[in-house]
Structure 1
């Protein structure tokens, strides 16, 4: 037996700069604030890069559910938007929120709910009966859930004759799918509830509430008319969402001040291409990494112009039509810093990663 290797073996067991498996940091469902049941998921542990604040998934309402990475750099704007939603809903510190679908917490970021001072809980099972039981037992100030599910559950309560025992004046924050308009009358009848229509995505967070934007970097750009009505693509921080909405001066059904009719969403066609024309970065190489990162963790295609201006005073993005589809739309130019906030946060995330690389010594790459 080689005594030197034996000594190394003991030292590796007792000491070391790299962690053993039981010494690795862990981020659980509870840490993320989404420790509730769903019938659509399996709980799986993954190795999550230290440069990501957390992982989540798209809801799959229009396509296959895809993984989403959320960076630390984008959290402040996401949390600010979440605070705007909670304040507009009239919620205050200490209020209880009942969440019917746990992944919706990821759109806020659980940190936003903690910082705001809310208490939130989940159903025992993902079913309408479990929802009614929780509503009765917990008496929440607000409910966060999908509108068709809430409508069906409240109709059940009415048909079973238990509506009178449910809490009154609850705020219903509906999200995940376009607002089911039939929820409004049954919610008013059974709960005397205020209904709010949230539009957002796992990739970026909340974007609009009752037809009113909740971020400063939102633009509406005209798209092709549908059925004789003008629709507008919603663009966040320079990135098109692929969703278009009509706008109306008569207002959103939940708030006449809201002009974006988010419950009449249509997928945008043709989709815009995003071209970076100018960047505050000194290197086009770093900008290319940003573009690839956005594709990988946000599912948005961003291209870098061959003659991109570096060291510019602000980011400049150009949205243009897809020449491959043979359809052209007038280009739209978006200039930062306010209107490119989300894109710029991804730039900052890339810089943070390059300056504070979290590497594992057993994974060595040679250039």
Structure 2
């Protein structure tokens, strides 16, 4: 038994192999999403180190997909979030009420913190709780789904509690297409603004009031008059919008009418034509990473040019020959490629789960 005692002492002395209580933990508060929601259960999972955090699509019309966010994506998410807040006239030190906690994952906690906002959640996920918080907590900005916020404003009017609302208030609507009736609901109440924020868990925030928030957004004309498919960093979002010179209802300078959103019936085939990567095997791994973390299909071109100066993708429908080439707005894909290269260089390994070829 002395041998077992020695083995136990050796085992206990190894610090780089954690016990369960020593494993790093990323709680809801670490992600800045520690608020109540009726649509979720809190579940602990083993999350790989290569993800900055995991989240889920909203599941508006189908089951939610898991989304992995890489650390290389965070700077662009922060830039887009800061631009959205600035265009909404949100100031450092403002108090933000988040009605649906997972929306923080689209910003990223880092974006809200670095902008200097103080954010809080509802005590319960209900319209009454929104009214109570706005009246009590000195709220400057509210973010949530537009129909829910419109109904909340109408409830406050009917109950007479609207008189306790602050004189100045900004509503940022997100998550679903803008319910345009909210613009009528705020009339005559106070110095209120409504902004229409469009984005996804996969890509982060994309447009505010029809104005692009990222530099890598492309629009491809569809068969429908004035309708365009929206592409982020070379990857199709699967969403189609009207682009109109008359402008967005919330800001006439914005030309992408985000409340006209339609899901694309057939998505583009996304093909990597050129890449900075020197190995085809690594490019194929990038394609798998995009599929697994974003649920977007990316293919590797048969005649792909490796070791190129930049990444170039081609988009085409499966039943058409025309290819739309994107060679200067691929930042989103670029960041995923950098994440893949980093993962291959510094991948976390567990000695009890070693795969041998």
For normalisation by structure 2, the TM-score amounts to 0.98
1:101 correspondence with 2:100:
yes
> Contact conserved, 1:154 with 1:190, CA < 8 A, in 2?
no
Gaps of 5+ in 1: none
> Contact conserved, 1:275 with 1:304, CA < 8 A, in 2?
yes
Structure-2 residue corresponding to 1:354: 344
Residue pairs, 1:258-269, within 5 angstroms? 258-269=254-265
String of CA shifts for 1:114-139, please: whole Å, max 9, x gaps: 11111000000000001100111112
State the alpha-carbon separation in 1 of the partners of residues 265 and 228 from structure 2: 11
Structure-2 residue corresponding to 1:69: 68
State the alpha-carbon separation in 2 of the partners of residues 16 and 208 from structure 1: 46
Structure-2 residue corresponding to 1:331: 323
Please give the secondary structure, in 2, of the residue aligned with 1:351.
helix
Structure-1 residue corresponding to 2:318: 322
Q: 1:340 aligns with which of 330, 335, 339?
A: 330
Structure-2 residue corresponding to 1:32: 31
Residue pairs, 1:307-318, within 5 angstroms? 307-318=303-314
Task: Report the Cα offset of residue 224 of structure 1.
Answer: 1.9
> Contact conserved, 1:223 with 1:268, CA < 8 A, in 2?
no
1:366 correspondence with 2:356:
yes
State the alpha-carbon separation in 1 of the partners of residues 92 and 197 from structure 2: 20
String of CA shifts for 1:323-362, please: whole Å, max 9, x gaps: 2xxxx373210003xx000001000000010111111111
Structure-2 residue corresponding to 1:253: 249
Residue pairs, 1:159-174, within 5 angstroms? 159-174=158-173
Gaps of 5+ in 2: none
1:156 correspondence with 2:155:
yes
Task: Report the Cα offset of residue 269 of structure 1.
Answer: 2.8
Q: 1:297 aligns with which of 293, 308, 311?
A: 293
Please give the secondary structure, in 1, of the residue aligned with 2:147.
helix
Give the total of aligned pairs: 357
Structure-2 residue corresponding to 1:288: 284
Structure-2 residue corresponding to 1:178: 177
Please give the secondary structure, in 2, of the residue aligned with 1:172.
strand
Task: Report the Cα offset of residue 189 of structure 1.
Answer: 3.3
State the alpha-carbon separation in 2 of the partners of residues 241 and 104 from structure 1: 18
State the alpha-carbon separation in 2 of the partners of residues 63 and 332 from structure 1: 29
